[in-house]
Structure 1
């Protein structure tokens, strides 16, 4: 896990300003305090900050092939790198290190831009092909690792965080009003937009290719939810395969040359990860949880986390959030995020990452379980709520009026308003609304108000829905969440808050093989008789997690 940055003047001959490259590296120092490296060649400059996790001695970057015709800077982890090393040796390659980074260099020699298909992991990297004068940027399939870019006067500027791009004198910070519209409607900003005008997030599962004076972006991964209706399989068959995949993914994510642990919320996702880690390790798993002091103590789930910690005899630590922490940390957290994410879990992520970083350099987390296996309340509401749209408009309005008069009914009001929409994209968009269209119109004026007629959240949903190959309602919701909510809220804040403390966070549930398996599962194995994450809970019970599978966690109730 590291930070990368770079500049490529593909329409220029002037050499890269070394001081500029250093400033860009310094802006992301927190992502890689262990080492730094740079490569320059005429108008190309590649910068790197390293957080050493695998092959601490040999994994220095930038990394090249033997004749230095291929140069790579890489942020992330490749979990199948040992398998790829063996394949490369069979093809005649000589590997100089034991790092996962080197396999990408040699895979590119053999496979070109198609090398991304061989990678199983999380990554954002830049690769320079000297012979072809080609710069390649690539981001992992799910968007676990970030990568941002802008183009100014024939110069491509990129980095793991927006703050690195802002060091370039040609990049002046200005708000993109249409992105503000997306934020107010969704609580996050979906790729490729950012809150900064002309700065873009490379979408998950995409590569950017800059060569011969042109820049093009290519999608290299499609998530299919298409199921085979003729397939005859039992619940036992599915749980057997899921358990095997979970064990494989957790085992692959444990490869590390430094101390590691796990975030433990007490929900079924993180608890399953900890249970499986305990099976593979010969020492107690180091676990970290976050709770709340008064007046929020009743929102704390530490009791659930401590049940799991005791059951698996983990080396467990807690940290508590107080109202003062929210006030004192707000500016610091916002600086690390680069752009706003209206998610109440952000401060919690930040503080538990700080706690973990005092004891380990890497953690496994349970992120992704809700999006893979349908853990949020809106999935159940949507499945059961079609009858709402069969009511007359007057009846729906009357119920909404009654809900508005009741205190503490925000959740039911959102659900009723969303379920009342006959248009699918409008309905899904309303599950996320921070401010509806009327509220935004009242809040904004002038050029900002005009931006409301540009790219809208509903249009974003409509575009993603058009790419989904399933007609099943739940599958379409999960597809959109995997494409928007997961990378641009959960994974974005997870990366920024952990890397703020130089802590690598790995997400075994988002191994793309597991994601593809989950997508093809029949919907009734995800939500069955209002029980969400049905198949994951069935599988987790094999790890003796019955108490957690029958209990409710706040994470599974919200959204």
Structure 2
């Protein structure tokens, strides 16, 4: 796991020197890659490639980056892990390709030399990389199907800059810092900045599952090589073997994610997802017990959302080396500035991940597995029931948005208490009649009609126009996800999972130099289980299947626990401000985050 960076002066008449800018970009990512820094320049000085290294596979100096293949034609800067690199290496060696290291990085290089852009579809893992062809003088960029690893681009028409973090690009000093209203509107609506936007007009992510080529002075269009929605749209099979197939696929995915030359740990809550991951890790064996790390917020001790009792039971069940990291109210409040500084884009989440990654690093771990993704894949969220029900209940108003808006406006005057305690409730008839609208209503932090008061009328109007939130959500259903439950799975995976959970895992883990692996977020796993998901989710057996995937299933007490999510005592983040309504508390924290990123307070006042 690392940080990649580059500056390609692809269209300038005479190349300029960007050495110092690139160094500043890489220095801003030092925590991502504390084990080393590398820099490479093309012979014509048009391209500067940089790399910050966190050594996990082939940790010796031979695998440092940027790396050249044996022929010296191709140069790569790579962030991520390729879990099937050994099998790919065997095939490439049989085809005559030579290797100087045991790294997965060199496997990507030779696979690209052999197959060009088609190589992307053969890579199993999480990745974002840049490969320069010194003969064709072209640059190739690619990002994994789920978008686990970020890659941000800024193109001013002559020079393309790219890096693993938005803040790193800004640190270079060569990127326009104009705030993007669409990014601010997206954060206000969703609690994160949704792709394809960032907080800045000049910076965009390379879309997940896409590659991009720059050659002959032109930047091409991103080309898709993998699509989550296409997997969810697959023909559904109703066969008795589905459970067996899914269980084996889970075992295989966790096995793949154990590929490393350093010790691996696991983030352990009291839930099914991380518990199943620990159990499947244990099945693969090892000389020592697995280090499992659980957060214990002192303010939550003894409450229904305290993770410790069940996490302790799971750890004992799988004979793990269990470490409980206790956090007081003072600890939480004292670390708010550091959390906001590490946060790469505005988000209301990631706090627990920041703390558990910090604990992992203090234990000497560079890599930890997480249970992220189990709910999206196996129907663990309440949205799998509530969204289809809402669409059915309000379908008649789907084609009458003006009526729904009128109901909301009249209701807010007649029912002020409801508006104050549940500000989204009155928008059900306005948004609930379509899947994108119902999803926005359920997942939304603020709603579109609230943004002028939050952001200012002009920013809200432009932001919503460019963002097109309902169209954005609808895009995660294309092409053709028709089953109601799989529609929810596709929306959750393409929006909340990609734009919030995975992105937060990246910045919060990398803030401490910890690589977070997500075996339940794996494209090969998705492709294998997708034909069986509708029946499994409909029967409400998804989490039971996950709990039974280890050879020693999870205790029944874990499976019967109500879904709570990983709670954080938010009042400690808000200088003592308290609100019994967690959604409204999240709104208070969102205002604080937004102020930290924009430096503005007037339009954001409560």
Q: Which TM-score applies when normalising by structure 1?
A: 0.92
Q: In the alignment, does 2:139 pair up with 1:112?
A: no
Change over 3 Å in CA distance of 1:232–1:480 after alignment to 2: closer
Change over 3 Å in CA distance of 1:218–1:459 after alignment to 2: same
Q: What CA deviation, in whole Å up to 9, does each residue of 1:76-129 have, x standing for no partner?
A: 000000001100110011111111110011001110111111100001111001
Distance 2:127 2:273 in 1: 22
Change over 3 Å in CA distance of 1:15–1:434 after alignment to 2: same
Give the superposition deviation at 1:297. 5.3
Aligned residue number for residue 533 of structure 1 = 543
Q: Secondary structure at the match of 1:442?
A: helix
Alpha carbons 1:147, 1:159 under 8 Å: kept: yes
Aligned residue runs from structure 1 range 120-139, under 5 A:
120-139=124-143
Q: In the alignment, does 2:46 pair up with 1:43?
A: yes
Change over 3 Å in CA distance of 1:227–1:218 after alignment to 2: closer
Q: What CA deviation, in whole Å up to 9, does each residue of 1:173-204 have, x standing for no partner?
A: 22101211111111111112001111011111
Q: Secondary structure at the match of 1:48?
A: strand
Aligned residue number for residue 54 of structure 1 = 57
Alpha carbons 1:527, 1:533 under 8 Å: kept: no
Q: In the alignment, does 2:239 pair up with 1:228?
A: no
Q: What CA deviation, in whole Å up to 9, does each residue of 1:443-469 have, x standing for no partner?
A: 23353133133322112112333x132
Change over 3 Å in CA distance of 1:404–1:348 after alignment to 2: farther
Quote the RMSD (CA, aligned, Å): 2.8
Change over 3 Å in CA distance of 1:188–1:5 after alignment to 2: same
Aligned residue runs from structure 1 range 52-91, under 5 A:
52-57=55-60, 58-91=62-95
Distance 1:319 1:415 in 2: 41
Select the residue among 152, 172, 177 that pairs with 1:168: 172
Aligned residue runs from structure 1 range 16-415, under 5 A:
16-41=17-42, 42-57=45-60, 58-216=62-220, 217-223=222-228, 224-228=231-235, 231-234=237-240, 237-282=241-286, 283-294=288-299, 298=303, 299-343=305-349, 346-359=350-363, 360-386=365-391, 388-389=393-394, 405=417, 410=422
Distance 1:366 1:339 in 2: 23
Q: In the alignment, does 2:559 pair up with 1:549?
A: yes
Aligned residue number for residue 476 of structure 2 = 464
Change over 3 Å in CA distance of 1:482–1:496 after alignment to 2: same
Change over 3 Å in CA distance of 1:355–1:211 after alignment to 2: same
Distance 2:202 2:57 in 1: 35
Give the superposition deviation at 1:170. 2.7
Q: What CA deviation, in whole Å up to 9, does each residue of 1:514-543 have, x standing for no partner?
A: 1123332242311426x6635434546852
Distance 1:522 1:532 in 2: 8
Distance 2:123 2:549 in 1: 27
Give 5+ residue unaligned stretches, structure 1: none
Distance 2:119 2:413 in 1: 56
Aligned residue number for residue 466 of structure 2 = 454
Alpha carbons 2:39, 2:51 under 8 Å: kept: yes
Give the superposition deviation at 1:312. 1.1
Change over 3 Å in CA distance of 1:6–1:420 after alignment to 2: closer
Distance 1:213 1:482 in 2: 36
Distance 2:182 2:470 in 1: 13
Q: Which moved more, 1:237-246 or 1:125-134?
A: 237-246
Aligned residue runs from structure 1 range 500-515, under 5 A:
500-515=511-526
Change over 3 Å in CA distance of 1:440–1:406 after alignment to 2: closer
Aligned residue number for residue 5 of structure 1 = 5
Distance 2:562 2:454 in 1: 37
Alpha carbons 2:436, 2:470 under 8 Å: kept: yes
Give the superposition deviation at 1:494. 0.4
Count of matched residue positions in the alignment of Structure 1 and Structure 2: 551
Distance 2:452 2:375 in 1: 33
Q: Secondary structure at the match of 2:520?
A: helix
Distance 1:389 1:168 in 2: 50
Q: What CA deviation, in whole Å up to 9, does each residue of 1:58-90 have, x standing for no partner?
A: 321111112311000111000000001100110
Q: Secondary structure at the match of 2:443?
A: coil
Give 5+ residue unaligned stretches, structure 2: 398-402, 568-581, 584-606
Distance 1:242 1:3 in 2: 34
Change over 3 Å in CA distance of 1:174–1:86 after alignment to 2: same
Q: Secondary structure at the match of 1:5?
A: strand
Change over 3 Å in CA distance of 1:547–1:52 after alignment to 2: same
